[in-house]
Amino acid sequence: MKTIIYTAAAVLFPLAAAAHDGMAVENAYARSANPQTAAAFMLLDNHRAVSCTLVGVASDAAAKVELHTNLDVDGVMKMQPIEGGIEVAPGAQHELARGGDHVMMMGLKAPLENGQTIALSLDFGDCGVMEVEVPVDNDRQPEPADAAAGQGETDHSGH
């Protein structure tokens, strides 16, 4: 009996590890402040042994989709496109959060309603393309990490 359990464990654990051997998206949501623009926020989690760079995002929900960040320019916070993408080191996470890095959607084809989902195609260059369904939550308030700009990268290689 023990042999069967050990054999089953040996077969199943590599599959579980493989399921987490790539880029993952966690806690994604989108919100819209007006009928023309929206933003999407999420945690990018790199389970790979190499750095992965989010170089672009596409969606049928908007005419134009870009990676943006907020920067302090002479004491005024300004949103601007990110050049070169967002790199996520091996074993690290990068938060796309309100007040920091985020996905900006301009020229919405229809207003975003609470409860609907929008499809995003995340292009990680050499690490591949990931399709994600992002729920719309226009009422969601920033979490404490979001309020602190959330644009840093966290190393989780020790877990």
For 121, the token pair is: 């195609």
Q: Which residues of the chain have pLDDT under 50?
A: 2-19, 146-159
Coil, strand, or helix at residue 53?
strand
CATH number, span 22-150: 2.60.40.1890
pLDDT tens per residue, range 58-91 = 999 999 999 999 998 899 889 999 999 999 999 9
Query: What is the dihedral sign for C-alpha 76, 81, 85, 91?
Result: positive
Q: What is the pTM of this model?
A: 0.77
How far apart CA 46 and CA 33 sit, in angstroms, is 30
DSSP E strand stretches across the chain: 23-31, 37-46, 52-54, 56-58, 62-73, 76-81, 86-88, 92-96, 102-108, 117-123, 129-135, 153-155
Q: What is the pLDDT of residue 142?
A: 76
Q: What is the pLDDT of residue 88?
A: 98
How far apart CA 40 and CA 13 sit, in angstroms, is 33
Q: What is the pLDDT of residue 106?
A: 97
Q: What is the pLDDT of residue 51?
A: 97
Percent of the chain with pLDDT over 90: 69
Q: What is the pLDDT of residue 133?
A: 97
For 50, the token pair is: 């190499």
